[in-house]
Amino acid sequence: MTVTIEHRRSAELEELIDQDAAAFRILTGDRPTGQLHLGHYFGTLRNRVRLQDLGAEVFVLIADFQVLTDRDTAERLEEYVTGMLLDYLAIGLDPARTMIFAHSAVPALNQLLLPFLSLVSVPELNRNPTVKDEIAHSRQASVSGLMLTYPVHQAADILFCKANLVPVGQDQLPHLEIARLIARRFNERYGRPVFPVPDALLSAAPLLLGTDGTKMSKSRGNTIPLSATADETARLIRGAKTDSERSISYDPERRPAVSSLVLLAALCLGRDPRDVADGLGDGGAAALKSVVTTAVNDLLAPVRARRAEYARDLGYVRQVLRDGNERANEIAAATLAEVQSALGMRY
């Protein structure tokens, strides 16, 4: 039910974006827990570039504090953050138009967590279905306070810059509900409209499976990273799970692994997966894999070329993040000042 309403709202929002993209300040983010992969690309990254190119103001958050929700320490942060910056730039996010910044570099954003926590109840935190699921899959023996409260921190990510639109997948909807609740409660409790109530923009994210036929995920080691070379990509696809039917079809219910490969080729080629499957006929898994490999490598060739160029100039790449952090700090300081005024905490 909620899903249907959200989808309908998202379709309306897409129309508004078409009419006047500049009316939207969009915030999205990624946890730096590994390399970005094709699932991210088709699920969210290319959508960010689209929104940027339509003229919306796009903010991209590297959510480094959020790494600590389900593990004791954030491993290889510097490597992952640099890799993400390279990927962002390589796919076409333009730092002149899109602000890229990291949680940990914006103290005033983090400070919003305190007043925001006072606006939600413990039962509300406990019933978040995404958090419940993450607790069930956590690699930690006990649940940390951050695991339970990070959706409130995520509300600070969204509200510190007064974003009005948050492109998300289904799993993030409960978090967005908390951000909306906090915005409304803050405005009501303190009698002034400090925060806009942000909308979710649900993208029709295609469900790509990993190379082992299960959910594509960094932690399962079944992804095709954007940073993989053409040879590595070919090897990963060659090793992908298929089935023994020679005839290739697009039937996600009955043949999830084969259908996901068909879908991947279709996404890269901008074609309908059924047409791609028809074209392959009785070619079997080898023909399918060869088409997928060519499609992915053709799509990624220019991305890889740009990535390699940026990788030769890491000074520039770091400066992009520093500039984004600086601007985020200015915005966060202004919002925190408003919040302190509302709370009567200006001395």
Report, in Å, the least distance between residue 171 CB and ligand TRP: 8
**DSSP-assigned letter for residue 45:** I
The first and second tokens of residue 327, run together, are 């601007």
If residue 90 lies in a helix (H) or strand (E), which one and from where to where?
Answer: helix 77-91
Considering just the CA atoms, what is the radius of gyration of the chain in Å? 21
Report, in Å, the least distance between residue 230 CB and ligand TRP: 28
Amino acid at site 34: G
Count of chain residues binding ligand TRP (CB under 6 A): 14
311 contact partners, CB below 8 Å, separation of at least 6: 86, 317
Nearer to ligand TRP, 1 or 204 (CB): 204
If residue 335 lies in a helix (H) or strand (E), which one and from where to where?
Answer: helix 314-343
The first and second tokens of residue 95, run together, are 């730092």
Q: Site map for ligand TRP, 21-50, x if CB under 6 A? A: ------xxxxx-------------------
Nearer to ligand TRP, 297 or 335 (CB): 335
Report, in Å, the least distance between residue 302 CB and ligand TRP: 26
Query: Which residues between 137 and 196 bind ligand TRP (CB under 6 A)?
Result: 154, 157-158, 166, 168, 172
**DSSP-assigned letter for residue 218:** G
Nearer to ligand TRP, 27 or 262 (CB): 27
Nearer to ligand TRP, 216 or 258 (CB): 216
Nearer to ligand TRP, 33 or 259 (CB): 33
Among 35, 66, 98, 233, binds ligand TRP (CB under 6 A): 66
231 contact partners, CB below 8 Å, separation of at least 6: none
User: With CB under 6 A as the contact rule, which of the stretches 59-67, 224-232, 287-295, 302-310 interacts with ligand TRP?
Assistant: 59-67
Report, in Å, the least distance between residue 207 CB and ligand TRP: 16
If residue 313 lies in a helix (H) or strand (E), which one and from where to where?
Answer: none
Nearer to ligand TRP, 147 or 317 (CB): 147
Among 60, 63, 100, 277, binds ligand TRP (CB under 6 A): 63
> Judged by CB under 6 A, does residue 128 bind ligand TRP?
no
187 contact partners, CB below 8 Å, separation of at least 6: 193, 194, 195
Nearer to ligand TRP, 268 or 331 (CB): 331
Order of strands, sheet of 199-202, starting from the edge strand that comes earlier in the sequence = 98-102, 57-62, 25-30, 165-168, 199-202
Report, in Å, the least distance between residue 254 CB and ligand TRP: 30
Nearer to ligand TRP, 242 or 329 (CB): 329
CB 295 within 8 A of CB 269: yes
**DSSP-assigned letter for residue 215:** B
CB atoms within 10 A of CB 192: 12
Nearest partner of 220 among 236, 235, 232, judged by Cα: 236
Report, in Å, the least distance between residue 69 CB and ligand TRP: 9
Do β-strands 98-102 and 165-168 pair in parallel, antiparallel, or remain unpaired?
A: unpaired
Residues that bind ligand TRP (CB under 6 A): 27-31, 61, 63, 66, 154, 157-158, 166, 168, 172
